Chain A
Amino acid sequence: MVDRQSITTANPWVTNLARIQGIDQELPNVATYDLVLEDPAAAGAFEFQPGQFNMLYLPGFGEAAISISSDPGKLTSLQHTVRVAGNVTTALSRLHVGDQLGVRGPFGSAWPLEACRGKDVVIACGGIGLPPLRPLIYYLIQHRETFGRVHLLYGARTPGELLFTNEFQQWRAAGIEMAVTVDLGSDDWTGDIGVVPLLFHRLHLDSNQTIVMTCGPEVMMRFVIFEALARGIDPESIYLSMERNMQCAVGLCGACQLGPKFVCKDGPVFTYEQMEPYLMVGDL
Chain B
Amino acid sequence: MNLAKLPIGSFVRIQKCDLQSLVADLKQVHDRVVGPREIDAAIVYDDLDHVDQLPIGVTDHQDGGVYRLTHQSSDSHFDYVVGPQSLKGFLFPPRETVSESVRTDGKWEIQATETPVMRIAVLGPRACDLRALAIQDKVFLEGPYVDPGYQRRRDALFIVAVNCRRSVATCFCHAMDCGPAVTSHFDLALTEMDDHFAVEIGTPAGGLAIEATSWVPMSEVEVAHAKQVPAALEESMQGGTSARQMETGGIRELLMDNLEHPRWQEVAERCLSCGNCTMVCPTCFCSSVDEVTDLSGDHVRRERSWASCFTAEHSYMHSGNVRKTTRSKYRQWLTHKLATWQDQFDSSGCTGCGRCITWCPVGIDLTEEVAAIRGE
Contact of A253 among B110, B259, B287, B316 (CB under 8 A): B287
Between B107, B288, B327, B331, the greatest number of chain A beta carbons within 10 A of the residue's beta carbon is seen for B288
Q: Known A252-B287, A254-B286; judge A59-B300 contact (CB<8 A).
A: yes
Segment with Cβ contacts to B, from A13-21, A66-74, A147-155: A13-21
A251 in the interface, Cβ–Cβ < 8 Å? yes
Q: Apart from A12-B145, A283-B328, list 13 A-B contacts with CB within 8 A.
A: A13-B99, A14-B99, A62-B289, A243-B319, A250-B144, A252-B147, A252-B287, A255-B307, A260-B344, A277-B256, A282-B328, A283-B322, A284-B259
Given contacts A13-B99, A59-B108, contact A255 B145 (CB under 8 A): no
User: Is A85 on the interface with B (CB-CB < 8 A)?
Assistant: yes
- Answer yes or no: A11 CB below 8 A from chain B CBs: yes
List the B residue with the shortest CB-CB distance to A89: B318
**Residue pair B144, A6 in contact (C-beta under 8 Å):** yes
5 A–B contacts from the bound complex (CB under 8 Å): A7-B144, A12-B145, A14-B99, A251-B144, A283-B328
A-facing mask of B61-78, CB < 8 A → 1, else 0? 000000000000000000
How far apart are the CA atoms of A217 and B320 in the complex, in Å? Answer: 12
Q: How far is the CA of A63 from the CA of B35 in the complex (A)?
A: 39
Question: In the complex, how many angstroms separate the beta carbon of B277 from the nearest chain A beta carbon?
Answer: 14
Cα A253 to Cα B289 in complex, Å, equals: 9
Q: Is A86 an interface residue (CB 8 A)?
A: yes
**Does B112 contact A11, Cβ atoms closer than 8 Å?**
yes
Q: For the complex, what is the distance from the CA of A7 to the CA of B146, rounded to whole Å? A: 8
CB neighbours of A217 from chain B (8 A): 319
**Chain A residues within an 8 Å CB radius of B108:** 17, 59, 100, 102
Give the Cβ gap from B115 to chain A, nearest Cβ, in Å.
Answer: 13
Contact of B324 among A11, A85, A255, A283 (CB under 8 A): A283
A137 part of interface (Cβ distance < 8 Å): no
Residues in A with CB closer than 8 Å to B126 are: none
Bound-complex Cα distance A102 to B289 (A): 15
Contact in complex: A255, B107 (CB < 8 Å): no
| Distance from A102 Cβ to chain B, minimum over Cβ atoms (Å) | 6
Chain A residues with CB under 8 Å of chain B are: 4-9, 11-15, 17, 57, 59-63, 85-86, 100, 102, 217, 243-245, 247-248, 250-255, 257, 259-260, 262, 265, 277, 281-284
Please tell me if B101 contacts chain A, counting CB pairs below 8 Å. yes
B324's closest neighbor in chain A, by CB?
A283
A8–B315 CA distance with the chains assembled, in angstroms: 27
Please tell me if the beta carbons of B286 and A244 are within 8 angstroms of each other in the complex.
no
In the assembled complex, which residues on chain B have CB atoms less than 8 Å from the CB atom of A8? 144-146
Chief secondary structure at chain B's binding surface:
mixed
> Chain A nearest CB: distance from B21 CB in Å?
39
A85 vs B317: C-alpha distance in the bound complex, in angstroms?
10
Give 5 nearest A-B pairs by CB, closest first: A260-B343, A254-B286, A283-B328, A260-B340, A250-B145
Pair B145/A283 contact, Cβ less than 8 Å? no
A283–B331 Cα distance when bound, in Å, is 10
Which residue in B140, B322, B325 is a CB contact (below 8 Å) of A245?
B322
- Separation in Å of the A247 CB from the closest CB of chain B? 6
B289 nearest in chain A by CB position: A247
- Complex formed: what's the CA distance from A102 to B102 in Å? 13
Q: Which residues of B contact A245 (CB under 8 A)?
A: 314-317, 322
For residue B262, CB closer than 8 A to chain A, the reply is no
Q: Are B291 and A248 in contact (CB under 8 A)?
A: no
Chain B positions within 8 Å of A4 at CB level = 144
B145 and A59 contacting across the interface, CB-CB below 8 Å: no
A282 CA / B320 CA spacing, docked (Å): 13
Q: Please name all residues of chain A whose beta carbon is closer than 8 Å to the beta carbon of B339 when the two chains form the complex.
A: 260
For B110, give its contact among A5, A85, A102 (CB under 8 Å): A102
B123 to A: closest C-beta gap in Å? 29
Tell me the bound Cα distance from A245 to B309 in angstroms.
12
CB pair A9 B99 closer than 8 Å: no
**Chain A contacts for B343, CB-based, 8 A:** 260
Query: Which residues from chain A contact B332 at a C-beta distance below 8 Å?
Result: 257, 284
8 Å CB contact of B140 from A86, A244, A252, A262? A252
- Is the pair A262, B110 in contact by a Cβ cutoff of 8 Å? no
CB-based contact B328/A243 at 8 Å:
no
Chain B residues, CB < 8 A from A277 = 256
Q: In this complex, what residue of B is CB-closest to A252?
A: B147
